[in-house]
A and B are shown apart, each in its own frame.
Chain A
Amino acid sequence: MVDTIRAEQPVAASAPSPPRSRRRRRELLPYLLLLPAICLELLIHIGPMLAGVGISFLQLTQFYLSNWRAAPFAGTANYAVALNLNGATGQALLHSFTVTVFYTILVLAISWTFGLVAAVLTQRSFRGRGLVRTVFLIPFALPVFASVITWNFMLQQQTGAVNRILLALHLTRGPPFWLIGPNSFYSLVIVAVWRTWPFAFLILTAGMQSIPADLYEAAALDGAGIGAQVRHVTLPLLRPVNRVLLLVLFLWTFNDFTTPFTLFGSAPPTQADIISIHIYENSFVSWNFGTGSAMSVLLLLFLLLVTGVYLAIGQRGERHA
């Protein structure tokens, strides 16, 4: 590379400036193309995020809404309230956090498993595979509000389709409640898995395309059944894809607002009190934006920590491999 440039210079000795400025323009072009995206990212994501962090240090209640720059500085008082496990607010936040962790782990595990099984089973071409793949992707492609509000109608205790079917099949004696009470947590998990597993299926299918077929043939020759093939060929080669997929699914599910909000409204049952709705209630519904912002910052720190640890462990694993 360097030799070529040195060889070029004597040839263009008569006009030295055009190549240099042309080179500079060539170097600047990628940054210029990135500029609109960076501006929008700052305006839409980073700016409001920093404003939110700023609000978490203010005592922003309805008294200061119309002149929020005059809100008194609260220091770390909002964080103290959010983290005080002896107070009602702190206890409620911890409960909501625990519920969300269980919810995320369940949805992640079930979605990923369904996605992997479906990807493995549709790996080899068969008649109607395209149709099967399309049908599998429908829940993910439907608009969130429309699909989740339909689930809300289906899960109604007296008029919902789910209870009609359960009673017709004599699986329960009296119609159970799905949107309030202990069942509400499982309803939420089921709806979230229904929406999420097609994405796992899609990514794993794409990831599996790059696994050469002769590896499977070699494994089959060695006497490996489907289970062993998945364990020894598919999963190891899918490790980079899985690392990204699990992280994305974790962050999406943990932060999910639309699904629980559409399913339960702004007053979710205590058993299904997902943290994003909990923070929304603490901000818009009780007009205590300072505390709501503090909770959001704490959530952000937690997710950054999990992401950092996860990526660090993954990198170490790669080095050892």
Chain B
Amino acid sequence: MRPTKLRAMAFVATLAAVPLAACSSSSSSGGSAASHPTLTYWASNQGTSLQDDQQVLAPQIAKFTRETGIKVNVQVIPWTTLLTQITAATVSGKGPDVLNIGNTWSPSLQATGAFVQFTPTVMSQVGGSSRFLTGSLSATGQPGKPPTAVPLYSLAYGLYYNKAQFAAAGISSPPGTWAELIADGKKLTRNGHWGLAIEGGSVSENIHLAFELSQQQGGAFFDTAAKPTFNTPQNVAAVKQMIDFMQADKVTNPADAQYSKGTEALTDFATGKTAMVIWQASAGSLAKLGMNPADIGVAPVPLPSPLPPGGKTITSMVAGINLAVFKDTKNMSAALKFVKFMTSTPEQETLNQTYGSLPTVSAAYSDPAFHTPAVTTFRSILSGSAAPMPGVPQESNFETTVGTAIIHLYADAATGKTVTSAMVAQALSLAQQQLGG
């Protein structure tokens, strides 16, 4: 009797100890060794796969460790979960030391107060703000406040077009106005082949294009007091224009309304199923998808002709990735050293060349790799006709509510319902109400 009871007690004690042991072995961000700390770095998915990013970053990280003795534990986070993981890290206080963020998230993330603010003192530790392109630096936080992150990769939207298919259809140059694009698209839409591919199921692709078209119409999604102004005639016209590619102009395949993974429209373009796509700088991805480089042409996104009253010659939003540091990091100086390394001229040249994006520091542009026609086009777009997304704290709510509303409008158009301006206005009005509760 007694030995069995002792065994039972021991069993119970072991069971009780297991969760306690698990709790105490929770991982901490950053090492305890003062001389050789380990940084945790959350990288975003810039390449064609998570493994691809690990392979691109590994030699650069090794170089950093050789130079400074600081080890870096790199985790590549997919876009579908990056914002959620950043949110969780903000709430729990347990996160990485350094991380990539989408630059349009900067104003919202700044409002959480969880990130190091790059005041002039901090900025001087990573090389000073004058090294960065003005355009890239404009999308790093709320206006009037210090940047909440430094720009790492710069991207802009361009109109990619298939030179071979254009030549075969007798079109000599890429469209400069929307009317020309629709005419070209109609010529190229036949027999299962389409003129323009759209990632209609993706929140970010939809909202970026809606913002660009709204700027061209002279519209704005927030007023100067940061209050939402979604349901305006200009914004309605911009969104209606997007839906009309599919339902009225018929240059976009209705099946594109399902494209939500962030890769399908570009793949359709790379495999020759569509002749045009509006996408961020993607030289690296197109090469990996097997497209013949001679067929790849890029031009600025078209403009309306004539430009509506109040309309701006904006063909892209300031896209890009910023590098941020968590305020709660235990390795502040090591983290800032890593930021300085990643934004140093040699690293900017190497990484942006691999990813096909644009360096955020002006010194890197002396590298001949960035003198190709495509890069020159994107650089002029970024410096001449790009505007940052609204720099308000509710920016990510705006992206999600309006982007999702556009997804549903595309689904309606694809399944046979006619989307009218009134329906667009109502969708934008409902999205705005969700912001104000």
Contacts and interface: CB of A to CB of B under 8 A. Distances in A.
Nearest to A269: B411
Given A63-B111, A89-B437, A287-B108, A177 B400 contact: no
Most buried by B among A63, A67, A88, A182: A88
B283 to A, nearest CB: 27
B113 A177 contact: no
Contact of B401 (A156, A182, A286): A286
Nearest to B20: A39
B257 A39 contact: no
Contacts of A89: 433-434, 437
Contacts of B5: 25, 29
A36 B19 contact: yes
A292 to B, nearest CB: 12
B377 interface: no
A310 interface: no
Given A35-B12, A157-B258, A66 B90 contact: yes
Interface string A88-113: 11001000000000000000000000
Q: How many of chain B's residues touch chain A, expressed as a range?
A: 35 or more
Q: What does DSSP make chain B's interface, helix, strand, loop or mixed?
A: helix
A303 interface: no
A32 interface: yes
Interface in A54-111: 62-63, 65-68, 81, 87-89, 92
A67 B113 contact: yes
Contacts of A286: 397, 400-401, 434
A258 interface: no
Contact of B112 (A39, A65, A156, A291): A65
Q: What does DSSP make chain A's interface, helix, strand, loop or mixed?
A: helix
B390 interface: no
B16 A267 contact: no
A267 B414 contact: no
Contacts of B84: 284
A66 B93 contact: yes
Nearest to A22: B1
B15 A88 contact: no
A120 B381 CA distance: 70
A152 to B, nearest CB: 10
Interface string B426-437: 000011011001
B415 A181 contact: yes
B401 to A, nearest CB: 7
Nearest to A77: B437
Contact of A180 (B15, B257, B396): B257
Contacts of B404: 267, 281
Nearest to B17: A36
Interface residues of A, number: 42
A92 B397 CA distance: 16
B414 A181 contact: yes
Given A63-B393, A65-B87, A66-B91, A182 B415 contact: yes
Contacts of B203: 267
Contacts of A66: 90-91, 93, 112-114, 327
B328 to A, nearest CB: 8
B201 interface: yes
Interface of A: 22, 25, 29, 32-33, 35-36, 39-40, 43, 62-63, 65-68, 81, 87-89, 92, 156-158, 177, 179-183, 265-267, 269-270, 281, 284-288, 291
17 contacts: A32-B8, A36-B15, A36-B16, A63-B112, A65-B90, A65-B114, A66-B327, A68-B91, A177-B415, A180-B415, A181-B412, A267-B260, A267-B407, A269-B408, A269-B411, A281-B400, A286-B397
Given A92-B430, A181-B411, 17 more contacts: A22-B1, A32-B8, A33-B8, A36-B15, A39-B19, A62-B87, A62-B112, A62-B393, A62-B396, A65-B87, A66-B91, A66-B93, A180-B411, A265-B201, A286-B397, A286-B400, A287-B108
Task: Pick the 5 closest A-B CB pairs, nearest first.
Answer: A181-B415, A88-B433, A180-B411, A66-B114, A36-B15
